[in-house]
A and B are shown apart, each in its own frame.
Chain A
Amino acid sequence: DAKTTQPNSMESNEEEPVHLPCNHSTISGTDYIHWYRQLPSQGPEYVIHGLTSNVNNRMASLAIAEDRKSSTLILHRATLRDAAVYYCILRSYNNNDMRFGAGTRLTVKP
């Protein structure tokens, strides 16, 4: 299985940008990079995904290294509601493999 490595925890101040890193050195050519987050007492929710190019949506941006062995989730202005565990997952195009690691617990300080 392709695996990802993330820091256990990170802290940010409210209204500041947050860069959440993920290493995936064994990524294959058919793996998409997905990010999910899990708020307390909720199921995970989709944040963003990409293959090779950087991606932006209303929640976040995803910066993918040229060799695709790492990526960074960028929250442009952290709010208290962004406090959650963020998971970086590699998912093959045929959708039958979606396995979570331990994730990064993001704390946002007011």
Chain B
Amino acid sequence: GAGVSQSPRYKVAKRGQDVALRCDPISGHVSLFWYQQALGQGPEFLTYFQNEAQLDKSGLPSDRFFAERPEGSVSTLKIQRTQQEDSAVYLCASSPTLGRVSTEAFFGQGTRLTVV
């Protein structure tokens, strides 16, 4: 497809279960972002990749959260030992990087995670 694709769209996990959320960015996009969005809130930055390099992971809320992008394309956000407070929509965005030109980012529709 032409846009950013995220899977699954919905995930229900039992507390303590590990989950993996996938993001397929637009082909050729260098930058990739992950966000967490709680109900009624704005997206909260989690982490940023430039190609395969994770340049900023300052937004990851705990060491239970881990993200990777090993080949500079598909990215996976993994949450270990899920807790109820992890329930949120997880958004992925990709963006081309054109040096000094600031460009738009394209968002997926998100994965809604519910921890029960």
Interface residues in chain A, defined as those with a beta carbon under 8 Å from any beta carbon in chain B: 32, 34, 36, 42-46, 49, 51, 85, 87, 91-103
Contact = CB atoms under 8 A, between A and B. Distances in A.
**Interface range, B side:** 20 to 34
A93 B100 CA distance: 5
A95 B103 contact: yes
B35 A100 contact: yes
Given A43-B108, A44-B107, A102 B42 contact: yes
Interface of B: 4, 31, 33, 35, 41-45, 48, 50, 55-56, 91, 93, 95, 97, 99-110
Contacts of A102: 41-42
A34 B42 contact: no
Nearest to B103: A95
B45 A100 contact: yes
A46 B97 contact: no
A44 B102 contact: no
A32 B102 CA distance: 7
A102 B110 CA distance: 18
9 contacts: A44-B91, A49-B102, A93-B99, A97-B48, A98-B33, A98-B48, A98-B93, A98-B95, A100-B45
Contacts of B48: 96-98
A40 B88 CA distance: 15
Contacts of B55: 96
Contact of A95 (B35, B91, B102, B106): B102
Most chain B CB neighbours (cut-off 10 Å) among A44, A46, A87, A94: A44
A48 to B, nearest CB: 9
Nearest to A44: B107
Given A34-B102, A100-B45, A102-B42, A42 B109 contact: yes
A31 B102 CA distance: 9
A103 to B, nearest CB: 5
